[in-house]
Amino acid sequence: MSAAEREMLAVLAEHGFRATRPRRAIVQALCEADAPLTLSALHRAARARYPKTGLATLYRTLEVLERCGLVHRIQLNGESYLMACADQSLHYHLVCVKCHKVVEVHAPQAEEWLGALARQHGFTMSAAPIEVRGVCAACRT
């Protein structure tokens, strides 16, 4: 079990949810994905790990994970994609609009600049990831 899986399951436990086999299958599918998943792809991946994973459990588990900031939803071409995002700090998701590859990056200077800009306008920043969309090197060739 990866560190991200352990962290996500710990957050579920903190919110009173047991680490049932379907929930573990959902978390594992999210953490092992090499690209964001559609809801149906996530359901298939979770069912491949535990065939009795139901849609209701999937929705409830995702709701809790999203509320806790452990799942990030990305909209691409009118479709919603889900990805594990256990990093609670302010960071960036570089999202390829062609292949949907996502790279997480940290830019401390940008965080300082955004913090100053937010304060200038009377805002307090949250740690939600920021999406930067473009085309990855592999898709450009």
Q: Please report, in tens digits, the pLDDT of each residue of the chain (141 residues total).
A: 788 888 888 888 888 888 899 999 999 999 998 888 999 999 999 999 999 999 999 999 898 888 887 888 888 878 888 888 766 667 788 888 888 888 888 777 777 888 888 899 999 877 667 788 899 999 998
Confidence (pLDDT) at 26: 95
Confidence (pLDDT) at 88: 65
Q: Compute the Cα dihedral for 39, 73, 28, 100 and give only its sign.
A: positive
Domains for the chain: give ranges and CATH numbers: 3-84 (1.10.10.10), 92-140 (3.30.1490.190)
Confidence (pLDDT) at 7: 85
Q: Which alpha helices (DSSP H) does 15-90 contain, by range?
A: 21-32, 39-49, 55-67
At which residue do the structure tokens 């799942």 appear? 71
Where is 114: in which H helix or E strand?
helix 108-120
Measure CA 106 to chain center: 16
